[in-house]
Amino acid sequence: MMPQDLLTKKQKMIKETKSIIFIIIAVLTFRSVFFEPFRIPSGSMIPTLMIGDFILVNKFAYGLKIPFTDLTLFDKSFDPIYVAGKSDPKRGDVVVFKYPKDLSVNYIKRVVGLPGDTLEIRNKVVYINDKPLEPKEFDGKVIMDDMDDKFKSYNLKFYKVKTGEHEHVIQQDNDNYFKVDFDKITIPAGKFFMMGDNRDFSYDSRYWGFISHEQIKGRAMFVWFSLIFPFGENPTKFRPGRIGTIIN
């Protein structure tokens, strides 16, 4: 017979192990279905999102999914299975999605073109269904003061734009003429055209094409923390003023 105290310890250990497993599964399920944190590693969405921003993403913004159905394991990616409320993102939404060229990588961009739209770019102005998204230039000194060091040497101009119902700011390099124009296209059914707000420093649908609804992970909501970790010669930069910033 096992001593009573040893038996009690074993039962307690089993109970604690079950509790830990349950908590882990609950947390992972919550992240898979409801909300998930992401960190912004690049500057493609400046000035809306800065390098080092930690954001919260609404995973059920475009429909309630069965947990873990949108997982990517190694080189295999699974499409989400929706159980309720499946809907398309709205024009101007900032979304996290699986990068079409490597589905194990997450990208974040702004939805600019919707299924059935015609889209073209003339002299860096985006036209949707032959109507321009009129950019209105403004003084971006405050933005420049907080700009990531790698972009401070560029001749940046800042513009207010309304994309769908979202009013936001884009920035452009006045000396960059590489992607001034983009030939008119019609966006296929079920596809979306994505662009970064840092227009001349964004690797987006202008280069790699459309994304599908199945690749979308969720809609970005707000910044809950902002910190650049020291790397090489880059100093640590903590931006407390960005905490709580709503992503529009």
User: Is residue 60 located within the same domain as residue 125?
Assistant: yes
Compute the distance between CA of residue 191 and CA of residue 119 in angstroms, rounded to an integer.
13
Q: What is the pLDDT of residue 1?
A: 46
Give the angle subtended at the CA of 31 by the CAs of 245 and 211, to the nearest 5°: 75
User: Is residue 54 located within the same domain as residue 176?
Assistant: yes
Q: pLDDT tens, position by position, for the chain (248 residues)?
A: 446 677 677 777 887 788 788 788 877 776 766 899 999 999 999 999 999 999 999 999 999 999 989 888 777 888 999 999 899 999 999 999 999 999 999 999 999 999 999 999 999 999 999 999 999 999 999 999 888 888 989 999 999 999 999 999 999 999 988 889 999 999 999 999 999 999 999 999 999 999 999 999 999 999 999 998 876 556 788 999 999 999 99
Compute the distance between CA of residue 37 and CA of residue 209 in angstroms, rounded to an integer.
26
Structure tokens at 26: 């609950």
Q: End-to-end CA distance of the chain: give it in Å, rounded.
A: 66
Q: What is the pLDDT of residue 170?
A: 98
User: Is residue 24 located within the same domain as residue 113?
Assistant: no
Compute the distance between CA of residue 202 and CA of residue 211 in angstroms, rounded to an integer.
16
Would residue 43 count as lying in a domain? Answer: yes
Compute the distance between CA of residue 4 and CA of residue 11 in angstroms, rounded to an integer.
11
Q: What is the CATH number of the domain that holds 99?
A: 2.10.109.10
By DSSP bridging, strand 72-73 and strand 53-58 are unpaired
Task: State the catalytic residues.
Answer: 44, 109
Would residue 86 count as lying in a domain? Answer: yes
User: Is residue 52 located within the same domain as residue 154?
Assistant: yes
User: Is residue 88 located within the same domain as residue 162?
Assistant: yes
User: Is residue 17 located within the same domain as residue 65?
Assistant: no
Would residue 53 count as lying in a domain? Answer: yes
Compute the distance between CA of residue 102 and CA of residue 32 in angstroms, rounded to an integer.
20
Compute the distance between CA of residue 116 and CA of residue 119 in angstroms, rounded to an integer.
10
Compute the distance between CA of residue 228 and CA of residue 41 in angstroms, rounded to an integer.
9
Residue with tokens 């919550």: 30
User: Is residue 2 located within the same domain as residue 60?
Assistant: no
Would residue 73 count as lying in a domain? Answer: yes
What is the count of structural domains for the chain?
2
Give the angle subtended at the CA of 141 by the CAs of 57 and 127, to the nearest 5°: 60
Compute the distance between CA of residue 154 and CA of residue 138 in angstroms, rounded to an integer.
17
User: Is residue 140 located within the same domain as residue 177?
Assistant: yes
User: Is residue 25 located within the same domain as residue 49?
Assistant: no
Give the angle subtended at the CA of 44 by the CAs of 207 and 124, to the nearest 5°: 60
Would residue 247 count as lying in a domain? Answer: no
User: Is residue 5 located within the same domain as residue 113?
Assistant: no
User: Is residue 124 located within the same domain as residue 164?
Assistant: yes
Full domain range(s) for residue 136: 37-242
Phi, psi of 74 (to 5 degrees): 55, -115
Would residue 67 count as lying in a domain? Answer: yes
Compute the distance between CA of residue 18 and CA of residue 51 in angstroms, rounded to an integer.
39
Predicted TM-score (pTM) of the model is 0.89
Would residue 160 count as lying in a domain? Answer: yes
The alpha carbon dihedral of 166, 201, 134, 137 has a sign of: positive
164 dihedral zone (left: phi>0; alpha: psi -120 to 50; beta): left
User: Is residue 166 located within the same domain as residue 78?
Assistant: yes
Classify residue 156 by burial, with Cβ atoms within 10 Å: 0-12, 13-18, 19+.
Answer: buried
